[in-house]
Amino acid sequence: MNERIHHTMGQQSGRRSWAEPWKIKMVEPLRMTRRSDREGALAGAGWNTFLLRSDDVYIDLLTDSGTSAMSDRQWAGMMLGDEAYAGSRNFYRLEQAIQRWYGYEHVVPTHQGRGAEHLISQTAIRKGQYVPGNMYFTTTRLHQELAGGIFVDVIADEAHDPADRSPFKGDVDLAKLERLIVEHGATNIAYVSLAATVNMAGGQPVSMANVKALRELCSRNGIRLFLDATRLVENAFFIQEREPGYADRPIAEIAREFCGHTDGAWMSAKKDSLVNIGGWLAVRDRTLFEELRNLVVVYEGLHTYGGLAGRDMEAMAIGIEESMQDDHVRSRIGQVRYLGELLDDWGIPMVQPVGGHAIFLDARAFYPQLSQDQFPAQTLAAELYLDSGIRSMERGVVSAGRDPATGGHHYPRLELTRLTIPRRVYTQAHMDVVAESVKAVYDGRAAARGLKMSYEPRYLRFFQARFEPL
Ligand code: P71
């Protein structure tokens, strides 16, 4: 006789269970693979998860970028695409959505986030100027450097410590920024580049108090403040949860207030906004807008489509509204947290507190026997794939690239492997499979030997680099 009584996860945590605010209408079958299949696939991919075919992947946690599931309303919107070269009706719907939910007046559509980063960098940076930011993001920093800018990290020190549990690890350290201004003069600072949330720090939020103080500091010095709004909705959730005075305010209101402290924003709509492709750039200043609108026709497409089809802009307009709903955000971050709590209970080392879009495993703590030159985070991504067919992403020394001045590796303090959760795609059972696989790899950590790089491309090397086991 079975004496065991099973408990739901909610019961185990002493609370009532909750579930996603949607149901599934269409499914996409996944291919299950055997370890021997995966060994062949990984060797063929040069031990780089970016080079795997998705057909060889079981649960794909490479990124939450463009991998979310659209709603029935978004798919219906795809049928309302106005594919005119100029003046598409969907552009005006998108423009209105950005004005309403983010509050910026002038909008330039782009094919995705880095298209927008390119335009703002070329327009707002003069060669030799400094661009302070709250930790780097790969494409953001590259576009700033290609425009002749010098990136300077001014994030709070806590952000570089995976174990530090501060609530707003994305905050700018204002003293670091002030020192930079004093040292180089305000005119040698192109703008402050503020990301909310901070991807490379583990999806960590910026507080409202910090963006307010930053606004004051920038205004006093005549420096512009631009926002990377890619995961701002998730940032607004953390403000609602953690910052005094915001508990009863809707996420949409908090997001809009946050934007109110900035001069403009760029966006990869492939994240928060629940679309497979799309981005934008929006500013308050009319003169800057005219420059951006002129440059977009050179690199992206006419200023009323920016490299997108009309249907993509329609899906984005609808996705923006859906992304701002409290129930949606709570369920999205709730799923990430569910996985994080399991792993935390089992003593798996990772970035704390768990952020908005992903679990970031601390590969240094997994593999103390490996130096950063043996690519611990790349090794961990490979081991997870071999164990169960889960695909994750390296966010350590490979991603950090080389210092353009010295040519040597950047050695970031954070050596992380990211398990990124797409929105509205996987179930709690998938999260359980992921958690058990991470545990299995952790239990086998002593056997890991590391990798060496056998091919290194010039730009954003992590995408196409190849490795060999040591
Ligand atoms: C992510 C991505 C996609 C990506 C980009 C580069 C390397 C690996 C994966 C893209 C972002 C982002 C932030 C905060 C701008 C972009 C570029 N993230 N800002 O996390 O997270 O946007 O991909 O649409 O061009 O997997 P884009």
Task: Identify whether the C-beta of residue 101 lies closer than 8 Å to the C-beta of residue 252.
Answer: yes
What percent of the chain shows pLDDT beyond 70? 100
CA of 65 to the centre of ligand 1 (A): 7
Rounded to 5°, the CA angle 302-307-308 comes to 110
Residue pLDDT, tens place only, 231-254: 999 999 999 999 999 999 999 999
Per-residue tokens: 460: 């954003």
Asked if residue 13 has pLDDT above 90, the reply is no
The mean-pLDDT minimum among 13-17, 67-71, 88-92, 178-182 falls in 13-17
Distance 443 CA to ligand 1 centre (A): 31
Please list, in sequence order, all residues whose beta carbon lies within 8 angstroms of the beta carbon of residue 216, skipping any fewer than 6 positions away. none
CB atoms under 10 Å from CB of 324, counted, come to 25
Q: Which residue minimizes the CA distance to atom 26 of ligand 1?
A: 63
Among 51, 155, 197, 199, the mutation site with the greatest number of ligand 1 atoms within 8 A of its Cβ is 199
Strand pairing report for 279-283 and 358-362: unpaired
Average model confidence (pLDDT) across the chain: 97
Q: Rounded mean pLDDT of 276-297? A: 98
Determine the Cα angle at 236 with ends 134 and 19, to 5°.
125
Active site residue 462: yes
Quick one: tokens of 76?
């219906």
- Locate the ligand 1 atom nearest the alpha carbon of residue 195 and give its number: 14
Q: Coil, strand or helix: which one is 360? A: strand
Which of the residues 136, 137, 366, 375 is marked catalytic?
A: 137
Angle at 343 between CA 327 and CA 453, to 5 degrees: 110
Is 91 a residue of the active site? no
Pocket test for ligand 1, best of 268, 312, 462, 463 (most atoms within 8 A of CB): 268
Residues 352, 358 contacting (CB under 8 angstroms): no
Q: With bands split at pLDDT 50, 70 and 90, how would you rate the model's confidence at 460?
A: very high
State the distance from the centre of ligand 1 to the C-alpha of 113, rounded, in angstroms. Answer: 7
* Cα–ligand 1 centroid distance for 271 (angstroms): 9
Backbone angles phi, psi at 134, to 5 degrees: -85, 80
- Write out pLDDT tens, residues 194-203: 999 999 999 9
Q: Determine which helix (DSSP H) or strand (DSSP E) holds 75, and give its type and residue range.
A: helix 72-78
The pLDDT of residue 2 is: 63
User: Tens digit of pLDDT for each residue in 319-350?
Assistant: 999 999 999 999 999 999 999 999 999 999 99
Q: Which pLDDT band holds residue 77 (cuts at 50, 70, 90)?
A: very high
Note if 137 is an active site residue: yes
Q: pLDDT-derived band of residue 287, with 50, 70 and 90 as boundaries? A: very high
What are the tens digits of pLDDT across the range 124-169? 999 999 999 999 999 999 999 999 999 999 999 999 999 999 999 9
Chain mean position to CA 134: 13
Say which range, 77-91, 178-192, 369-383, 395-409, has the weakest mean pLDDT.
395-409
* CB burial readout 353-386, b (16+ within 10 A) else e: bbbbbbbbbbbbbbbeebebebbbbbbbbbbbbb
C-alpha torsion angle, residues 178, 208, 130, 156 (rounded to 10): 70
pLDDT value at 3 more than 80: no
Strands 416-420 and 358-362: antiparallel
b (16+ CB within 10 A) / e for 49-73: bbbbeeebbbbbbbbbbbbbbbbee
CA distance 61 to 88: 35
Query: Tens digit of pLDDT for each residue in 357-416?
Result: 999 999 999 999 999 999 999 999 999 999 999 999 999 999 999 988 899 999 999 999
Q: How many residues does the chain have?
A: 470
- pLDDT at residue 404 in the model: 84
The answer on pLDDT for 1 being more than 70 is no
Task: Report the share of the chain in percent with pLDDT over 90.
Answer: 97
Question: Given the DSSP bridges, would you call strands 225-228 and 192-195 parallel, antiparallel or unpaired?
Answer: parallel
> Which residue from 128, 116, 77, 83 is spatially nearest to 310, judged by alpha carbons?
83
Ligand 1 site: residues with CB under 6 angstroms?
63, 65, 112-114, 137-140, 195, 199, 228, 230, 268, 270, 279
Minimal CA–CA distance to 442: which of 340, 343, 370?
343
pLDDT at 89: 98
How would you classify the pairing of strands 393-395 and 416-420? antiparallel
Q: 238 CA to middle of ligand 1, Å? A: 21
Mean pLDDT (whole number) for 73-96: 98
